Structure 1
Amino acid sequence: MAKTKEIKPKDEKKNTSLRLSSKTLKALKMRAIEEDRSVQKIVETLIEDYLRKTGKKSK
């Protein structure tokens, strides 16, 4: 059988790691629960806002 090329979505997500102090991570997780949002979504929003404010575009 021939292999078919997988079509990837335009907004494909990539993994990264982030080192935070235990205190900061705990506070972030608690805030995420309070806001009914994921830690990932909070971090992504903060980074996108930063890039927008500094004139950098996210792809």
Structure 2
Amino acid sequence: MGKDKTSDKKEADKKNTSLRLDRKTLKALKIRAIEEDTSVQKIIERLVVAYLESPSTLNDN
């Protein structure tokens, strides 16, 4: 039971990145991912996509 060609294509289209999170934040994120039977990667990707789809707000940050 291997991956189908569609999943292989989706994985090939992904690129790696890294980020640094506070130790407590990362631990809580990992626990939440386990509780929701998902992965940290999927949670972060969902959050980033939602952020990018939301209206842009111009801040002076």
Give, in angstroms, the shift of residue 54 of structure 1: 2.9
Question: Which protein is bigger by CA-based radius of gyration?
Answer: 1
**Unpaired runs of at least 5, structure 1:** 1-8
**Unpaired runs of at least 5, structure 2:** 1-8, 57-61
User: Identity of paired residues, percent?
Assistant: 66
Write 1 or 2 for the structure with the bigger share of helix: 2
Runs of 4+ in structure 1 over 4 Å off = none
Aligned pair count reads: 47
- TM-score of the superposed pair, with normalisation by structure 1: 0.73
CA RMSD of superposed structures (Å): 1.7
- TM-score of the superposed pair, with normalisation by structure 2: 0.70
Give the alignment of 1:17-56 within 5 angstroms: 17-54=18-55
Question: Larger deviation: 32-41 or 10-19?
Answer: 10-19
